[in-house]
Amino acid sequence: MTGILYGLGVGPGDPELITLKAHRILRSVPVVAYPAPDEGDSLARAIVAEYFPGGQTEIVIRTPMSLNRFPALEVYDKAAGEVGAHLDAGRDVAILCEGDPFFYGSFMYLYARLAESYRVEIVPGVSSLMACAARTGAPLAARNDILAVLPALLPVAELEARIAAADGIAILKVGRHFEKIRDLLNRMGIAEHCRYVERATMASERILPLEAVAADTVPYFSMILIHKRGQAWQ
Amino acid sequence: MTGILYGLGVGPGDPELITLKAHRILRSVPVVAYPAPDEGDSLARAIVAEYFPGGQTEIVIRTPMSLNRFPALEVYDKAAGEVGAHLDAGRDVAILCEGDPFFYGSFMYLYARLAESYRVEIVPGVSSLMACAARTGAPLAARNDILAVLPALLPVAELEARIAAADGIAILKVGRHFEKIRDLLNRMGIAEHCRYVERATMASERILPLEAVAADTVPYFSMILIHKRGQAWQ
């Protein structure tokens, strides 16, 4: 009997925003794996650190990031081999995923390498999308709204067309693209309907109007939320 | 001191997919409110029924639905008055929301009526979007994908243009629009990349290829997920 591979959404940052299911599985599996930067701590592990029962085998998947934030795939070949060896030996493995496993996560690299050979269960989590909306106090989408989720690196003309054509918009992974996007939103005359959020629900969370953001301080984990109706929710 | 109003995301259906935070608040507040159909049980309450500690005051917000699924707003005026009276008396009130409170939920009608007068805390939840992706075993979006969330009632030509222009697509509230959408996806030649899900993570969940769906059985709470890359996640 091979083990089960769990893709565990651990939520956006507040440890209390993990689901009961992910919490139970995290505490019961013998092996836990998680991504981490080249040097330093894993964010996914930090979110749920207080729940580790102790005595588990931990696999740290160190992923050196290039400028475009896509890691070398060899890292995942090696990690998949390591995870697969535990599964072959009958041990269940939980892979921790910030937010939700299937919403812009690096989990999919391991999933692609293991899903055909092993039993996999995905435990969905609270994503940064919903967390940012909650923290800014404005609905993401309602009624028959069209919602567009856009990575910040898109060219300005494409961002403009897509923002113009949707009711609710989330711009992800803002980072070094902030100034470009703020200029666009000012030009489109909708900056007042925009909310900037970084590290939603974490201790270091910041929520600011666009004009108050210093562009050189914007991290990768940041989002701009827009709703065309502004505060007119009634 | 007035009470706190909580917008509690209770997740998509599996009771274990509630967050630790929503679970804690649900068990500690003196007043719980939730939507329900004109006749019959509340889905939001059913999801978390096992967690009710007993002895709480319950406010059932009965919302008669018209064909286009938008209830009469008087219902929310009345419910907001009832909730507000508890808050004025210093009692915290939790409003239960299926999935996430700010993702196409009816909570926003109450939020619009109460947010300016009371302290409100939104507890984000696992939405149907992430739950459907998890259950079908295919990522919703990855890397620099553009994700479009589209209500099924859009005209066919608009759906076609928006599906063509995105990488990942979620079509919500399929219901009586199923046949129209299946025809479109067949014509676009992408039906094989589509997954149909109804009542994700509930006991009555069904996941089917499009061609196996009987159009007259499709409920409102159903979704079609599409990813252009199909299974090519590596």
Residues in chain B: 234
The model's confidence at residue A217, banded by pLDDT at 50, 70 and 90, is very high
- Return the axis-axis angle of helices B107-114 and B73-88, rounded to nearest 10°: 50
**B142–chain A nearest CA distance, Å:** 4
Which pLDDT score is estimated for B169?
A: 97
Question: What percentage of chain A carries pLDDT values higher than 90?
Answer: 85
- Alpha carbon A37 to its chain's center: 15
Which pLDDT score is estimated for B74?
A: 87
Q: What is the pLDDT of residues B181-232, one digit of tens each?
A: 999 999 999 988 899 999 999 999 999 999 999 999 999 889 999 998 765 5
Average pLDDT over chain A reads: 93
Q: What is the pLDDT of residues A34-64, one digit of tens each?
A: 999 988 899 999 999 999 999 999 999 998 7
Q: Can you tell me the distance from the alpha carbon of A16 to that of B99, in angstroms, rounded to the nearest whole number?
A: 17
How many beta-carbon pairs below 8 A join chains A and B? 182
Which pLDDT score is estimated for A70?
A: 61
Task: Write down the ipTM of this complex.
Answer: 0.95
Q: Can you tell me the distance from the alpha carbon of A124 to that of A99, in angstroms, rounded to the nearest whole number?
A: 8
Q: How far is CA A50 from CA A16, A18, A23, A208, in A?
A: 10, 12, 11, 30
Which pLDDT score is estimated for A229?
A: 75
The model's confidence at residue B233, banded by pLDDT at 50, 70 and 90, is very low
- Amino acid B200 reads A
Q: How confident is the model over B38-66, as a mean pLDDT?
A: 92
Q: Can you tell me the distance from the alpha carbon of A143 to that of B95, in angstroms, rounded to the nearest whole number?
A: 19
pLDDT at B234 over 70: no
**Interface contact flag, B125 A125, Cβ < 8 Å:** no
The model's confidence at residue B50, banded by pLDDT at 50, 70 and 90, is very high
Which pLDDT score is estimated for A151?
A: 97
**Interface contact flag, B109 A233, Cβ < 8 Å:** yes
3-state helix, strand, coil in chain B (%, to 5): 35, 25, 40
Q: How confident is the model over A10-37, as a mean pLDDT?
A: 97
Interface test with B, best of A73, A102, A147, A162 (most B CBs within 10 A): A102
3-class secondary structure, A20: helix
The model's confidence at residue A74, banded by pLDDT at 50, 70 and 90, is confident
Q: Which residues of A touch B154 (CB under 8 A)?
A: 144, 146
Domains, chain B, ordered by start:
4-126 (3.40.1010.10), 129-227 (3.30.950.10)
Q: Which two tokens stand for residue B213?
A: 């769906």
pLDDT at A222 over 90: yes
**Interface contact flag, A101 B135, Cβ < 8 Å:** no
Model-level pTM?
0.95
Q: Can you tell me the distance from the alpha carbon of A200 to that of A172, in angstroms, rounded to the nearest whole number?
A: 12
Q: What is the pLDDT of residues B63-105, one digit of tens each?
A: 876 555 566 788 999 999 999 999 999 999 999 999 999 999 8
**B17–chain A nearest CA distance, Å:** 5
**Interface contact flag, A146 B147, Cβ < 8 Å:** no
∠A226-A231-B3 over CA atoms, to 5°? 115
The model's confidence at residue A232, banded by pLDDT at 50, 70 and 90, is low
Which pLDDT score is estimated for A189?
A: 93
**Interface contact flag, B143 A70, Cβ < 8 Å:** yes
Q: How far is CA A228 from CA A37, A145, A189, B169, B217, in A?
A: 37, 10, 11, 21, 35
Which pLDDT score is estimated for B154?
A: 97
Q: What is the pLDDT of residues B159-184, one digit of tens each?
A: 999 999 999 999 999 999 999 999 99
Among the partner residues A124, A143, A162, nearest to B134 by beta-carbon distance: A124
Among the partner residues A134, A143, A144, nearest to B123 by beta-carbon distance: A134
